[in-house]
């Protein structure tokens, strides 16, 4: 079932939670709503669910106007951050709940309910926990029960509100992979709210980034990482080094040293740590910045170096693969040349022509 | 061979199951136990022994004589109905306080404790003034033949007055602690308003309601000051058991008084046991380690 | 089939109007009930007390009997409340900071006065200290009077009020945990230091709260005191007993006048309680948080 979000506005008192947010989620997609606290992502999810109503705008579920339908009538499944399991019911009673509260005509017979519960507990690998109470389960197990409970009524849309943020890192990763696998099996349209960019990029078909109530960008994980639409998106999706400098008109390499440079405007360049090159020798056709090595984090697949630009003291973070690192054999305190392989600018200019101005306090 | 110095962990009294780094166990537990023994245990034992000394037959005869039986009927009967009234009104007020906000809510919340704070004698005389024939409330009821003052109905009114806060203060925190996400989860799973109430809210609130009602009943059954003014105190008709004990004392029938008091204590302990059982059952139901 | 733009306001409002009406009905019902059930009795006390005018009112209060009843009530409170504070602190320290067998039995023992009828409570002390009681003969020999004298009243009041401070402190100290006190011990503090410098500042509001409840109850206790007091006017009559006596003598205005003093004390108690709740967070329920992100 597809979801159309059209021009949704929501405010709480003087605080604007959502301002003119529109997006479309195709049937069977897994979309992540990503953003920092206060960005409006949970509010949007709850509006889609019917747990909140928008001040303006519409929600269409499979083409049908659903904005005035209550949460119990939208055919959605909702998984809460803190599980919201019914603590006075056993695990199987929890999972069966959605089926048991259906109106008499639609309600399946008890036998069918029992089988479905067993089926779902098997899906989430908690078969032997059927008669236990939520209190007796771990956080990860409780969340799996919450998912089983939401899936029991065969919802057309599955909504998850930061489902893994209350769990510790290893469990989070396991459940993340597992959610993806279940999605691939069941093909339910799924919307996942998270503030963890790694989670969103790993799990989702498409990612929508929200900031202060506005939709910044929506696209596949690859496309928003490679082509971020704004500094905010760039910054949010990973580590960034900022280089302040002046923009020159595009010069060929011969013209560069001739003193005929013209400054067009000052700009800020965004460079990812792995896009930086380090060397003891200054490359002939390129100006570089001199930085001293402050700290080296050598544990892990990539080596991360914290550097400090000589003169201004501004920090730069570089990432090298192990081979390059071992070639260089850098030690803390050494000085080294640093330059970017590519820079992203957000005022539309061509990246290569940024003059790295050491004096101007990069 | 070097002699290693003996290190002693900070040991607490042999009662303790685990030694603790904190000081003061002996002092505090000693004081507590002595206090309780002198103030509670010895006096309690005194009454129970006095009753026991009678021998079972005489004891039974005393506590089942007609006047005493009548007082049980009046006391327990009115207390039961009063507890029920407290349960209904207490549930309403607890619900409103826990889930809604309105101007003056804090004042209302403080007001609930009035029967706790108000001396029972004061409650007694003012309730009598209210429900008497020419009282503010009584004058509307009398013409319809509803006599409250000096009848069992009056006893019920006074009893529910003192029992009411027990219900509210038992149910209110439970309702307040209810995770709104649970209700939202139920809604998202398709439950309508009534189903959300009966399947999600009520099962959690019910044990608290039971506890509060049991406490209200216990208080009502033992109540003295608020009841004796409005009751009329006619033996066999509107005489509560507590008053009967006082009457026996004034007649120097210490034995009779002690025997009846023993019976009342049995009731008190039974209710305490009941309340504990309810708490235990709730914890077990939610899977907590008991 | 796609909607565009804003939804007509009536559609959204309809659902909330239903909810709102239901809410209003319940709130009004609760308020009306409370007004009739709780407020009217309080109003009745003052109306009756002042029914014959202010002069009559103040004359009734400045009677010697009433004043000595007031003094006795104050005396009893001043003795029983500090005693029970000490007990409350000791009991909650023992219970919340240590593990030992029989803890739940101890807690149950502390709850006993709440379940026992006040008349039975008074009778218990008569059984021991009365003329025919266990210690009766010994006491008369030594010309000591407990029953029908002030010590008896103090005892009965202590019995009825001692759970209050403990019941406030125990859950509070339990929830706070003993980390700070353990840290103090590790830093070298002895028992009293730990108590005065670490524990007491942390529990002061809960302690005050419990003390106020205990004080209110000791002022107002009627049944237990009635049994042990002997009703000797001017000597062993507390203010609640004086109210009863005046009432039984058909001196209604005076009875309500004395009652009004007690009612004022009750109102002050409620105000203090609520103030402590609101300012210090003791007993405060967690406010619902707005979902913002």
Query: C28: pLDDT confidence band, cut at 50, 70 and 90?
Result: very high
Q: Computed from CA positions of residues C242, C245, C247, C251, in that sequence, does the dihedral angle turn out positive or negative?
A: negative
Query: C14: pLDDT confidence band, cut at 50, 70 and 90?
Result: very low
What angle, 0 to 180 degrees and rounded to 10, lies between the N-to-C axes of helices B202-222 and B152-177? 150
Chain B hits for C116, Cβ within 8 Å: 222, 264-265, 268
pTM metric for this prediction: 0.79
Mean pLDDT of A348-358: 43
Mean pLDDT of A213-225: 91
What angle, 0 to 180 degrees and rounded to 10, lies between the N-to-C axes of helices A139-152 and A169-186? 20
Give the separation between CA C186 and CA C200, rounded to whole angstroms.
18
Which of A42, A84, A107, A166 should we substitute to test contact with B (largest number of B Cβ atoms within 10 Å)?
A: A84
Q: Are B97 and B170 within 8 A, CB to CB? A: no
More confident residue, C270 or C137: C270
Asked if B202 is an interface residue toward chain A (Cβ–Cβ < 8 A), one would say: no
How do residues B222-260 score in pLDDT, each as one tens digit? 999 999 999 888 888 889 999 999 999 888 888 888 889
How do residues B141-168 score in pLDDT, each as one tens digit? 888 888 888 889 999 999 999 999 999 9
Q: In this structure, is residue B182 part of a structural domain?
A: yes
More confident residue, B8 or A5: A5
How do residues A41-97 score in pLDDT, each as one tens digit? 999 999 998 888 889 999 998 888 888 777 777 888 999 988 888 988 899 999 999
Q: In this structure, is residue B44 part of a structural domain?
A: no
Q: In the predicted model, is pLDDT for residue C149 greater than 60?
A: yes
Q: Which of A50, A89, A149 sits opposite B189 (nearest CB)?
A: A149
Contact B189 A51 (CB under 8 A): no
Give the pLDDT confidence score for residue B4 in this predicted structure.
46
Asked if B8 is an interface residue toward chain A (Cβ–Cβ < 8 A), one would say: no
Q: What does the DSSP 8-state code read for residue A108?
A: P
CB proximity list for C205: less than 8 A, separation 6 or greater: C276, C280, C281, C282
Q: Are C87 and B32 within 8 A, CB to CB? A: yes
Q: In the predicted model, is pLDDT for residue A134 greater than 60?
A: yes
- Number of neighbours of residue C183 by Cβ within 10 angstroms: 13
What does the DSSP assignment read for A227-258?
S-SSHHHHHHTS--EEEEEEEE----HHHHTT
Contact A6 C3 (CB under 8 A): yes
Two tokens at A107?
């309600």
Mean pLDDT of A338-357: 59
Opening angle at CA A281, ends A278 and A287, nearest 5: 75
Q: Please state the ipTM of this predicted complex.
A: 0.83
Asked if A209 is an interface residue toward chain C (Cβ–Cβ < 8 A), one would say: no
Asked if C289 is an interface residue toward chain A (Cβ–Cβ < 8 A), one would say: no
Domain range enclosing B269: 69-289
Q: In the predicted model, is pLDDT for residue C134 greater than 90?
A: no
How do residues B111-140 score in pLDDT, each as one tens digit? 999 998 999 999 999 999 999 888 888 888
What angle, 0 to 180 degrees and rounded to 10, lies between the N-to-C axes of helices B120-131 and B152-177? 120
From the number of C-beta atoms within 10 Å of its C-beta (0-12, 13-18, 19+), residue A7 rates as middle
Nearest CA in chain A to B289: A136
Chain C hits for A68, Cβ within 8 Å: 7, 11-12, 14-15
Query: C88: pLDDT confidence band, cut at 50, 70 and 90?
Result: very high
Contact C269 B117 (CB under 8 A): yes
Q: Return the minimum-mean-pLDDT range out of A175-179, A277-281, A358-362.
A: A358-362
Reference A208, options A12, A67, A21, A46; nearest CA is A21
Q: In the predicted model, is pLDDT for residue C288 greater than 70?
A: no
Nearest CA in chain B to A133: B287
Contact B265 C120 (CB under 8 A): yes
Query: By three-state DSSP, how is residue C226 classified?
Result: helix
Reference A335, options A317, A310, A304; nearest CA is A310
Give me chain A's average pLDDT, please: 83
Give the pLDDT confidence score for residue C247 in this predicted structure.
92
Nearest CA in chain C to B269: C115
Q: Are C168 and C110 within 8 A, CB to CB? A: no
How do residues B182-219 score in pLDDT, each as one tens digit? 999 998 898 888 899 999 999 999 999 999 999 999 99
- Number of neighbours of residue C19 by Cβ within 10 angstroms: 10
How do residues C177-191 score in pLDDT, each as one tens digit? 888 888 888 777 788
- Tokens 């400045």 correspond to what residue? C62
Nearest CA in chain A to C290: A12
Asked if B181 is an interface residue toward chain A (Cβ–Cβ < 8 A), one would say: yes
With a CB-CB cutoff of 8 Å, which residues 13-72 of chain C face chain A?
14-15
Alpha-helix residue ranges (DSSP H) falling in C35-63: 40-49, 54-61
Q: In the predicted model, is pLDDT for residue B5 greater than 50?
A: no
From the number of C-beta atoms within 10 Å of its C-beta (0-12, 13-18, 19+), residue A21 rates as buried
Q: In the predicted model, is pLDDT for residue A136 greater than 70?
A: yes
Q: Return the minimum-mean-pLDDT range out of B43-52, B267-276, C82-91.
A: B43-52
Contact A42 C2 (CB under 8 A): no
Q: In this structure, is residue B203 part of a structural domain?
A: yes
Domain boundaries, chain C: 9-49, 54-283
Give the pLDDT confidence score for residue A145 in this predicted structure.
94
Q: Which of C11, C290, C291 sits opposite A68 (nearest CB)?
A: C11
- Tokens 């003014």 correspond to what residue? B229
Query: By three-state DSSP, how is residue B117 classified?
Result: helix
B248: domain CATH number is 1.10.3720.10
Asked if B185 is an interface residue toward chain C (Cβ–Cβ < 8 A), one would say: no
CB proximity list for A297: less than 8 A, separation 6 or greater: A303, A304, A305, A306
CA of A191 to nearest chain B CA: how many angstroms apart? 15
Q: In this structure, is residue B223 part of a structural domain?
A: yes
Give me chain C's average pLDDT, please: 85
Asked if B202 is an interface residue toward chain C (Cβ–Cβ < 8 A), one would say: no
Chain C hits for B222, Cβ within 8 Å: 115-120
Q: In this structure, is residue B127 part of a structural domain?
A: yes
How do residues B263-277 score in pLDDT, each as one tens digit? 899 999 999 899 889
Two tokens at A178?
């597992």
- Cβ pairs bridging A and B (under 8 Å): 79
Give the pLDDT confidence score for residue B7 in this predicted structure.
43
Alpha-helix residue ranges (DSSP H) falling in A12-138: 41-49, 91-100, 110-123
Q: In this structure, is residue B60 part of a structural domain?
A: no
CATH domain C54-283 topology: MetI-like fold (1.10.3720)
Q: Are C100 and B29 within 8 A, CB to CB? A: yes
Nearest CA in chain A to C5: A57
With a CB-CB cutoff of 8 Å, which residues 46-75 of chain A face chain B?
49-51, 70-73
For B141, half-sphere exposure in the C-beta direction (CA atoms, 13 angstrom radius) is 14
Reference C65, options C238, C253, C221; nearest CA is C238
3-state helix, strand, coil in chain C (%, to 5): 75, 0, 25
3-state helix, strand, coil in chain A (%, to 5): 30, 30, 40
Q: Are B266 and B247 within 8 A, CB to CB? A: no
Counting the structural domains of chain B, the total is 1
Asked if C27 is an interface residue toward chain B (Cβ–Cβ < 8 A), one would say: yes
Contact B265 C185 (CB under 8 A): no
Give the pLDDT confidence score for residue B125 in this predicted structure.
93
Chain A hits for C290, Cβ within 8 Å: 12
Which of B177, B185, B199, B282 should we substitute to test contact with A (largest number of A Cβ atoms within 10 Å)?
A: B185
**Chains interfacing with A (3 or more CB pairs < 8 Å):** B, C
Which of A49, A69, A86, A151 should we substitute to test contact with B (largest number of B Cβ atoms within 10 Å)?
A: A86
Opening angle at CA C160, ends B157 and B242, nearest 5: 45
Q: Which of A72, A84, A150 sits opposite B181 (nearest CB)?
A: A84
Q: In the predicted model, is pLDDT for residue C153 greater than 50?
A: yes
Chain A hits for B184, Cβ within 8 Å: 51, 71, 78, 80, 84
Asked if B273 is an interface residue toward chain C (Cβ–Cβ < 8 A), one would say: no
Contact C123 B245 (CB under 8 A): yes
Asked if B201 is an interface residue toward chain A (Cβ–Cβ < 8 A), one would say: no
Q: What does the DSSP 8-state code read for residue B37?
A: I
Give the separation between CA B140 and CA B138, rounded to whole angstroms.
5
How do residues A285-315 score in pLDDT, each as one tens digit? 667 778 888 888 888 888 888 888 888 778 8
């Amino acid at each position: 079932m597809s979801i159309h979000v059209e021009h949704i506005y929501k405010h709480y008192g003087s605080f604007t939670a959502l301002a003119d947010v529109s997006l479309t989620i195709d049937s069977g997609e897994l979309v992540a709503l990503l953003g920092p606290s206060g960005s409006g992502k949970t509010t949007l999810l709850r509006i889609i669910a019917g747990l909140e109503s928008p001040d303006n705008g519409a929600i269409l579920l499979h083409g049908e106007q659903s904005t005035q339908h209550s949460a119990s009538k939208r055919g959605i499944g909702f998984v809460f951050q803190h599980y919201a399991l019914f603590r006075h019911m056993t695990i199987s009673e929890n999972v069966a709940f959605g089926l048991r509260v259906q109106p008499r005509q639609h309600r399946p017979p008890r036998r069918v309910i029992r089988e479905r519960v067993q089926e779902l507990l098997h899906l989430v690998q908690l078969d032997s926990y059927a008669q236990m109470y939520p209190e007796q389960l771990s956080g990860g197990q409780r969340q799996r029960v919450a998912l089983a409970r939401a899936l029991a009524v065969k919802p057309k849309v599955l909504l998850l509100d930061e489902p893994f943020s209350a769990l510790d890192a290893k469990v989070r990763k396991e459940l993340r992979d597992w959610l993806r696998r279940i999605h691939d099996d069941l093909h339910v349209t799924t919307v996942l709210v998270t503030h963890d960019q790694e989670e969103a990029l790993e799990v989702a078909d498409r990612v929508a980034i929200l900031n202060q109530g506005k939709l910044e960008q929506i696209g596949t994980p690859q496309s928003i990482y490679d082509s971020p639409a704004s500094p905010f998106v760039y910054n949010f999706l990973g580590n960034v080094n900022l280089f302040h400098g002046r923009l020159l008109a595009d010069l060929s390499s011969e013209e560069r040293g001739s003193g005929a440079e013209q400054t067009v405007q000052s700009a800020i360049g965004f460079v990812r740590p792995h896009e930086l090159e380090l060397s003891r020798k200054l490359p002939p056709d390129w100006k570089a910045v001199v930085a001293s090595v402050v700290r080296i984090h050598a544990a892990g697949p990539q080596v991360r170096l914290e550097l400090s630009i000589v003169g201004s003291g501004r920090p730069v973070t570089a990432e090298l693969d192990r081979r390059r690192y071992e070639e260089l054999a850098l030690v803390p305190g050494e000085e080294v040349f640093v330059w970017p392989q590519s820079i992203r600018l957000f005022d539309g200019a061509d990246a290569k022509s940024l003059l790295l101005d050491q004096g101007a306090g990069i | 061979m070097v002699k290693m110095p003996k290190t002693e962990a900070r040991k607490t009294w042999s009662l303790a199951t685990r030694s603790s780094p904190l000081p003061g166990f002996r002092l505090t537990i000693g004081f507590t136990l002595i206090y309780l023994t002198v103030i509670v245990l010895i006096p309690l034992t005194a009454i129970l022994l006095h009753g026991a000394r009678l021998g079972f037959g005489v004891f039974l005869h005393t506590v089942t004589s007609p006047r005493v039986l009548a007082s049980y009927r009046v006391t327990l009967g009115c207390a039961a109905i009063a507890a029920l009234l407290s349960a209904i009104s207490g549930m309403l007020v607890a619900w409103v306080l826990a889930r809604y906000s309105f101007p003056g809510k804090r004042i209302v919340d403080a007001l609930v404790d009035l029967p706790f704070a108000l001396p029972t004698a004061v409650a007694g005389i003012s309730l009598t003034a209210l429900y008497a024939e020419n009282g503010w409330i009584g004058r509307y009821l009398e013409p319809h033949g509803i006599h409250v003052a000096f009848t069992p109905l009056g006893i019920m009114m006074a009893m529910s007055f003192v029992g009411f806060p027990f219900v509210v203060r038992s149910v209110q925190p439970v309702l307040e602690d209810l995770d709104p996400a649970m209700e939202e989860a139920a809604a998202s799973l398709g439950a309508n308003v009534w189903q959300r109430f009966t399947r999600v809210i009520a099962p959690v609130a019910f044990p608290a309601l039971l506890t509060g009602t049991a406490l209200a009943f216990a208080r009502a059954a033992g109540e003295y000051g608020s009841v004796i003014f409005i009751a009329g105190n006619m033996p066999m008709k509107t005489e509560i058991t507590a008053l009967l004990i006082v009457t026996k004392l004034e007649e120097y029938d210490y034995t009779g008084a002690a025997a009846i008091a023993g019976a009342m204590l049995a009731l008190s302990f039974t209710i305490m046991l009941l309340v504990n059982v309810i708490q235990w059952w709730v914890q077990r139901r939610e899977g907590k380690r008991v | 089939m796609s909607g565009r733009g804003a939804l007509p306001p009536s559609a959204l409002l309809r659902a909330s109007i239903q909810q709102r009406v239901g809410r209003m009905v319940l709130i009004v019902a609760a308020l009306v009930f409370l007004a009739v059930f709780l407020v009217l009795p309080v109003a009745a006390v003052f109306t009756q007390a002042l029914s014959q005018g202010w002069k009559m009112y103040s004359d009734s209060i400045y009677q010697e009997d009433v004043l000595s009843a007031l003094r006795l009530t104050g005396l009893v409170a001043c003795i029983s409340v500090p005693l029970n504070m000490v007990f409350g602190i000791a009991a909650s320290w023992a219970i919340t900071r240590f593990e030992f067998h029989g803890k739940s039995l101890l807690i149950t023992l502390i709850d006993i006065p709440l379940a026992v009828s006040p008349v039975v409570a008074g009778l218990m002390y008569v059984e021991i200290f009365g003329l025919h009681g266990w210690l009766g003969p010994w006491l008369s020999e030594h010309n000591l009077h407990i029953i029908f004298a002030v010590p008896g009243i103090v005892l009965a009041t202590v019995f009825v009020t001692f759970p209050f401070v403990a019941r406030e402190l125990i859950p509070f100290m339990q929830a706070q945990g003993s980390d700070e006190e353990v840290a103090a011990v590790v830093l070298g503090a002895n028992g009293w230091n730990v108590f005065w410098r670490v524990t007491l500042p942390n529990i002061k509001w809960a302690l005050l709260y419990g003390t106020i409840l205990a004080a209110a109850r000791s002022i107002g206790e009627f049944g237990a005191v009635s049994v042990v007091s002997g009703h000797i006017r001017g000597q062993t009559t507390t203010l609640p007993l004086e109210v009863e006596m005046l009432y039984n003598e058909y001196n209604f205005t005076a009875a309500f006048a004395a009652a009004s003093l007690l009612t004022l004390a009750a109102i002050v108690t409620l105000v203090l309680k609520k103030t402590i709740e609101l300012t210090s967070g003791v007993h405060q329920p967690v406010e619902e948080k707005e979902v913002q992100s």
